[in-house]
Structure 1
């Protein structure tokens, strides 16, 4: 796995921020799932993050109760499909499994999948879209985890060599196969991957266990305070590196 240097990551983000502004019709389209497999406000927070990134996406909600559902035709016009946080994995999968083949085809043919918390779990295989070179597991159930509650809380991660505090609610770790081509943006205090970018066919997959899309309202509603402040930079890094970063490469060694 590759853990990029903080300086390199910062330089990349600044570079992306210099991209010439595009009109709303020229901006790439990101589809954000909203429906029974997402939590209240989660889809909207992901959409807000995507719209405010240096790339400056247009966003459109998709799902069974939206104007458009997740279909090959809908996906064909998009650059990104984003799966936000939600409830438990098994009930969510029962609602989403009918989209699996279409989402896999979209990414395999050059699209981008972004998964946040539940969306990260669903990038795995048991159950899930099987987009990762490996699978997912619960951080709170992993050895030496510092968090043991399913309540809204905070978690410390090492993001590109810097310690950062993030909003967390029973998010996943990513168990990648030894030698898998993957860029690890962040790891938990146990060393387990917390944010990962991998390739799938001609496309890319960016997943994260904690919530970089959490805005100030999330902390206020959960009566939490982030000692680092509430900033969107980690979410920007995940999104922009997934789309524009170097291709994930195999380290030729064991992964956590």
Structure 2
């Protein structure tokens, strides 16, 4: 479930120290006219993954004010900070077990945020974490490992690409042991299924939770050409930013 350009470490950012050696963080972001989007950056992700998600959000038509949240950021991941946001994004990262270990203390905060009208976006590991075994239990169903599903077109945890059908059009996206999503009986009536893998399992969808929406995707529409290059692959002729924007538009609907 690891993902992104692993060899490049980007700055953690946002740390200010007092004379006593204590970390001081602004408790709340300064208000702006743009909707606030929070992107997790910390030990439950990998270098490059939060930055790619932030770039995708910034390039969308919403004009988000994008801020990072996490244990070493100016803004902590907390109920108060989430209350001022329109959207919270959980990027790709390492294993589900490790990721949830770092984030399980925020499960109720994230659930309340979405249930009260917030939007959740989960990419790869962030998609796994939207599930329940383990995870934040944001979906009317759960997640599982695509490479272990019946007749999966990819059978390796290595960085690769995956073919999928996005709103009926065949596309190729960067992929690294991402999830597929399944819905409980009857839950598909309230789900917007955006993409499926070749074996028919769900690759991307948006569902409701209370007054909010949850968007999840197994592959990486946010991947930039350097992800392919760092993995020794030829950069895709057409990257997936337009699909990422479609996911954002769908999750932001009223």
Query: Do Structure 1 and Structure 2 share a fold, with TM-score over 0.5?
Result: yes
Unaligned runs of 5+ in 1: 1-23, 246-256
Matched, 1:225 2:230: no
Pairs within 5 Å for 1:181-220: 181-220=190-229
State the superposition RMSD in angstroms. Answer: 1.2
Give the number of equivalent residue pairs: 222
Q: CA deviation at 1:225?
A: 2.6
Instruction: Give the corresponding residue for 1:98.
Output: 105
Distance 2:104 2:85 in 1: 20
Distance 1:103 1:227 in 2: 34
Matched, 1:164 2:176: no
**For 1:215-243, what per-residue CA distance to the aligned partner results, in whole angstroms no more than 9, with x for missing partners?**
11111111223554224100000011110
- Which residue of the other structure, out of 119, 125, 143, is the alignment partner of 1:118? 125
- Which residue of the other structure, out of 68, 74, 87, is the alignment partner of 2:81? 74
Structure with bigger RCO (C-alpha 8 Å, 6+ apart): 1
Matched, 1:38 2:64: no
**Structure 1 ranges of 4+ moved more than 2 A:** 225-228
Q: Do the aligned residues in 2 keep the contact of 1:164 with 1:228 (CA within 8 Å)? A: no
Instruction: Give the corresponding residue for 1:54.
Output: 61
Q: Do the aligned residues in 1 keep the contact of 2:124 with 2:218 (CA within 8 Å)? A: yes
TM-score (norm 1): 0.85
The 10-residue stretch of structure 1 (222-231 or 65-74) with the greater mean CA deviation from structure 2 = 222-231
**For 1:190-233, what per-residue CA distance to the aligned partner results, in whole angstroms no more than 9, with x for missing partners?**
00000010000000000000000001111111122355422410
The 10-residue stretch of structure 1 (213-222 or 116-125) with the greater mean CA deviation from structure 2 = 213-222
Instruction: Give the corresponding residue for 2:252.
Output: 243
Q: CA deviation at 1:65?
A: 1.3
SS in 2 for 1:124: coil
Distance 1:100 1:69 in 2: 14
